[in-house]
Structure 1
Amino acid sequence: MHKNLFRAGSFSELAQPGHSTARCRFLELPAELRLMIYDYLLISRDALASRAIRGDKPYGLSLTILRVNHLVYLEASSVFYQNNEFHIGSWSQSEPSDILKHGQIDPPIPRARWPSLRNLSIDLMANHKTASVELSQGPTSFWARDDTNCEAYVCSLTTLLESCSPHLETLKLTANMGRSGVNRKSVMSLSICDRDCQFVRALAALKIPKISVHFDFRDAFFYVDVDAKAFLGRSIPLIACQIMFCQAQTKLDRLLASFGGSISISKRTGRIDLSPMILKTWKHSCLGRFGATTNLEDEIANPS
């Protein structure tokens, strides 16, 4: 059971308390001690993600304690949702109309629990199996400005942020370019996030000082903590394009390094750290004035 996190359709299906009338001596322990036990059993060092994102990686959580009885369930589930970080992605198996109706996100956290979330990692890249980018006909083709799958996903993200806004403590915005490749669909997803007024207002309403921005490529990465107000003053697609432009130079950088040049390469993964190049371009920008700080890959866990 405890090794099968997110195997079922939602957390509510995993964690229904039992109906035993037997005396529970566990509740006779001091509350402080019970909280320590919950932390040990239910808190993961890594962000909790769906099986589609994490693969077969186990978290080692002991969710069976949620089935002891109703009171233990209430105490333990609060610790689980409030103290874990959740990596939110798009629900790839639903139609856009279903997402708009039910607000489904991946992993499928029950809506009633959204206000309890304190730490979020949000994937800005919509990943729907039915997503498509329509090209116009002609010598100068371009992709359509609208994608119902992406729009439905951003709508769900907006509702999620509005629900947990009063108590949210940390927010990480991620884009895994190594997963889907740098293509027109990638830019479309980021563009819809940027021009969705409700999504932008939901970000602006958050009472957090910093937003972590994580872009991952197969051969490079960009991790930075940015002042929330400064981030909202920049276009998300513009930031993404700057990052992707620098990533496109990585092969040239490696070539120059062979001739005595200097680039920042992670000793752990061999990927190039794009932060020095990008932050240099932000030196006199609003991001620089608000104090962007890098999170080097060797110092923090690589998000999955």
Structure 2
Amino acid sequence: MSATAIREAAPPTLAPSSRKMVHRTRGRGHGPIVRLMSPSDLGEHLKPFVFLDLFEADMRAMSRGMSIHPHSGIATVTVFTDGDVTFDDPEAGHGTIGYGGVEWMRAGGGVWHGQELSAGASATVQGFQLWVALPPELENGEPESQYIEADAMARAGPAHVIVGAYGGTASPVRAPGGINYLLVTLKPGERWTYEPPAGHSVAWVAVAKGGLLASEQLSKGDMAIFEAGEAPIMLQGGEGSGTTFVLGSAVPHPHDLHLGYYSVHTSAQALAAGERRIEELGERLRAAGNRRTASGSTPVFR
């Protein structure tokens, strides 16, 4: 069987060889945001994936409620499963991100962000924000932002390849190796098999819409962790509605997690360096004053 997504007419249930789930959660909700994973809980088991939020809200209201805040040691990956937003960055230009597009923000040694995306044409948006722990050579390095519209993203069958490489195609996101992150929509009853690349023993899914049959039935708001290994993951869209979900797989992050309030590093020394840089940037940010653009966004401060 090739290392590509396989689409075929699906039987009512999946074959018993489908990779088993070992944990599922619906997270903790706070207003329009549900925290599905944090570095201090599931992130320890799924690293380099260390944080995941599912959000669904009026983007205008959510932007007003989101304060500008710092990060170091991680990259954030934001995708939208419904609706669209605009970006306006002096280095990256202006455009729209909807389903299949991505904001990739590598914090590295330190950034302040939180209002770089503003409302688009849609009344509401739904999507996921993921944090990825960076390796030692990048965790205190130069920050970088990429805003990539859907038509520039790679596709592998029903999946947009947000990060990594799959099915003979690769994402334009400049992410570390050994990480795949896919955004997938399946029609009702449609069956799809994900075959992890060699070494990708970490794997999970989170459902944004509809029902998803894996080794168990999942529904909107569920996150599930698969048993460690490299066996294929067989998935099927829910009858009557289909499904939209994200799937992550990776080579395990071999480092301990050293946690700050907004930062994740591989050592106490790297964390201290990141927090010093964040403090310095914060002083410069306060001196810079109002940086809001005409579109209503505030660019990432690097």
Shorter-chain TM-score tier? under 0.3
More strand by share: 2
With structure 2 as the length reference, what TM-score do the two structures score?
Answer: 0.27
Radius of gyration: which is bigger?
Answer: 1
With structure 1 as the length reference, what TM-score do the two structures score?
Answer: 0.27
Bigger RCO of structures 1 and 2 (CA < 8 A, at least 6 apart)? 2
